[in-house]
Amino acid sequence: MNFKPIFNKDKRPILIAGPCSAETEEQVLTTARKLRGLQDLGALQVDLFRAGIWKPRTRPGAFEGVGVAGLPWLRRVKEETGLKVTTEVATGQHVYECLKYGVDVFWIGARTTVNPFSVQEIADALAGTDIPVIVKNPVNPDYKLWVGAIERLHKAGLRRIAAVHRGFSTYGDSKYRNVPRWQMAIDLMQEFPDLELICDISHICGRRDILAETAQKAYDLNFDGLMVEVHPDPDKAWSDASQQITPERFAEMIGSLVQRHSTSEDPDFQEQIERFRQQIDELDEELIHLIAQRMHLVREIGYVKKDKNVAIFQPERWRALAEACHIRAEKGDLSREFISMFLEAIHQEGINQQERIMNDGVDEPAITGDLWI
């Protein structure tokens, strides 16, 4: 797939800002005017003013947006401030209504991206237009669904497409509202290098106190820009109050961030990076060799288990080894999250290897030994 830029990539970062929901005309215009004023002062450069008109909510009874009544407010934002505007669309009818009011960019939300029928309906409604569309990742961490949504728009003839990484729902406690799983966004960058990628730090964080550190993380990972929810009085917002910030705080945060370069042509930098990368390549080769050796032992244990009719998964062994590995990891300055993901991947591969042995009807001699599955 080939893409055309929605924004000017020579001017980074791309900034998309505005309230989670369009609540009243006064609230929308106040936010836009403050952002425009800060822009005129040189504090920041807003590429798109965002506001949700239709708000898909997790549970009924929550504020679900003002609907079509809010579209004239966005048109006034354009007329009075000169800011381009964007809002979320979830149906073909939403698309038609937004086209009437001159909305500049449409975005497809996480709850819509997860449904191919809805994405196709939007793509069909946009066919024959040149309207830019930004696509948020699906609620669940499904890379193919994210790419599939982009493909549907591309097949409809749209080329000005960008992606928004807003994190993924998860069960259990986390510092984030939606766990970032940064690797999925990195995979998208690598597969589609000309696709602009924006980080929606508001929905990743769910709380304003960690917005700045998450924004810096996005900058460090070479995202093209940020989407941030901005409200004139965040604590009184009708939706997602805890993750919104004032325009003034937004400008302050943007000014505090360090924008990273994609690379450096400095000879000293190139020499140091190449030296470290060679060492990493050597270690990676050794790691792959060690993992292969480990899996050989796992397969041999599989033959022993099959011979004695013993279950593959051994919960007590798994718990003991996982805890021991976490203790070792802390001593090596490795995060618990990383080690958990690494162990789970190794564990799953071991189970897969032993399942093939259990079910293929092949009996082979076993080597004595003890592993954790």
90-121 residue pLDDT tens: 999 999 999 999 999 999 999 999 999 999 99
pLDDT tops 60 at residue 17: yes
Q: Are 32 and 50 in contact (CB under 8 A)?
A: no
Q: What is the pLDDT of residue 165?
A: 98
What is the spatial distance between Cα 215 and Cα 223, in angstroms, rounded to a whole number? 10
Four-way CATH pick for 14-256: 3.40.640.10, 1.10.580.10, 3.20.20.70, 3.40.50.2300 = 3.20.20.70
**φ, ψ (nearest 5 deg) of residue 225:** 180, -170
Q: Are 145 and 113 in contact (CB under 8 A)?
A: yes
200-234 residue pLDDT tens: 999 999 999 999 999 999 999 999 999 999 999 99
Average pLDDT over residues 326-336: 89
Domain ranges of the chain: 14-256, 267-359
Q: What is the pLDDT of residue 9?
A: 62
pTM value is: 0.78
What is the spatial distance between Cα 4 and Cα 7, in angstroms, rounded to a whole number? 9
37-91 residue pLDDT tens: 999 999 999 999 999 999 777 777 777 789 999 999 999 999 999 999 999 999 9
What is the spatial distance between Cα 123 and Cα 95, in angstroms, rounded to a whole number? 9
Q: Are 15 and 45 in contact (CB under 8 A)?
A: yes
> pLDDT-based confidence at 337, cuts 50/70/90?
confident
Do the first three CATH levels of 14-256 and 267-359 match, i.e. the same topology? no
Class of domain 267-359: mainly alpha
Mean pLDDT (the chain, rounded): 91
Q: What is the pLDDT of residue 82?
A: 96
Dihedral sign of CA atoms 176, 182, 183, 184 in order: positive
Q: Are 169 and 139 in contact (CB under 8 A)?
A: yes
